[in-house]
Amino acid sequence: MNKQKWKSKVIEIVSIVALLILAAIYILLMGDRISIRMLETILNQTIITAVVATGAVFIYTTGAFDIALGSAVAVSAITGAFAYNKWESVWIMLLVMVATGVAIELFDSVLAAFLNLPVFVTTIAMLSVLGALVKILIASGGGAKIEVPREAVRAYDNLWVKLVILVLFIGFCIIMYNYTPLGRREKFVGGNPVCARLTGISVKKLSIIAFAIAGIGVGLSAFLTVVKAPTITTSTASSVGMDVIIAIVFGGMPASGGSRSKISAALIGSVSMVLLSQIMTILNLSAGASQCVKAILFLGVVTLSGLKGRKAMLTR
């Protein structure tokens, strides 16, 4: 095994070891207080983050990123709630949420392609636009929140239902990512966009497809969010965007995307982030202190992943 592959393996091992360490710390801190209900809470939180992060892997593989995912989840949740309150159908609500998520993500990528701008520029702008839209939509409902009747979604607030949604979406993403030309081309674009263009790959087309798949994850996450807490406010999913970025990198995926990107990073990182949040809650850390801890870990992992870069030649 050459030096470069050895470094790559180290990063993968470190992400798994970090997850095991966080799990051990959580178990030690909880002690006899650990219960099935607490484990279900961790799984519920993990599933929501993992669904968004899995779809976002397609974006991050190309070397782009989207910090407006949290706001997109909130807008999708609100439009879905409006749809339920109008037609009283959970299936219509789900379809509206997914359609809204895909529409928002497509708008990001198409706008970037039309204006010939880097995708991250449009996502930064969309962060403000979607944040304002959340406030406008909630205010249009005549109050400080939008609600879906608890009894309407109670049957779906079931861990097995959520696991099925997660497994089906991850399965779809794995097939698209590992067994179709889409994943290979996105890794090529992330590794070297100039060479990708010269070989005839349409970078803009791949970007649009990547954002569309991420939009499906946004819509499903909005559904899971409403099922878990059917009251939507301006703070709903507010931390999702940053959590996804940290989770993907913490899961062992290079921040720059490219050939060493992988779907598994989304799941590993999501579990790690939820455990980390639970640990900081147990330690009674303030919101500001918690964000500082996440930022330090993020910088550390990004620095470590940067050691994999090959300066002499293209990555293989």
Domains of the chain, residue spans: 31-306
CA nearest 68: which of 305, 307, 238, 203? 238
- The pLDDT of residue 16: 86
* 186 contacts 58 by C-beta, under 8 angstroms: yes
Tell the burial category of 281 from Cβ atoms under 10 Å away from its Cβ (0-12, 13-18, 19+): exposed
* 248 contacts 58 by C-beta, under 8 angstroms: no
Q: Provide the CB-side half-sphere exposure for 81 (13 A, CA).
A: 28
- The pLDDT of residue 270: 92
CA nearest 241: which of 49, 68, 105? 68
Q: Provide the CB-side half-sphere exposure for 189 (13 A, CA).
A: 23
- The pLDDT of residue 310: 47
* Amino acid identity at 182: L
- The pLDDT of residue 204: 87
- The pLDDT of residue 307: 54
Tell the burial category of 280 from Cβ atoms under 10 Å away from its Cβ (0-12, 13-18, 19+): middle
Q: What is the pLDDT along the chain (316 residues), one digit of tens a residue?
A: 555 556 566 667 878 888 899 999 999 988 888 888 888 888 988 999 999 999 999 999 998 888 899 999 999 999 999 999 999 999 999 999 999 999 999 998 888 877 777 787 888 889 899 999 999 999 887 778 899 999 999 999 999 999 999 999 999 999 999 999 999 999 999 888 888 888 888 888 998 999 999 999 999 999 999 999 899 998 888 888 888 888 898 888 887 788 778 899 999 999 998 998 889 988 888 777 887 887 787 777 777 666 544 444 445 4
- The pLDDT of residue 316: 46
Q: Match 């989304």 to its residue by tokens.
A: 266
- The pLDDT of residue 13: 80
The three-state (H, E, C) secondary structure of 74-85, written as one string: HHHHHHHHHHHH
- The pLDDT of residue 194: 85
Q: What is the DSSP string of 200-227?
A: T--HHHHHHHHHHHHHHHHHHHHHHHHH
* 128: Cβ contacts below 8 Å, ≥ 6 apart: none
Q: How is residue 147 written in tokens?
A: 């609600």
Q: Where does the chain show beta strands of DSSP type E?
A: 146-147, 231-232
- The pLDDT of residue 67: 86
- The pLDDT of residue 6: 62
CATH number for domain 31-306, candidates 3.40.50.300, 1.10.540.10, 1.10.760.10, 1.10.3470.10: 1.10.3470.10
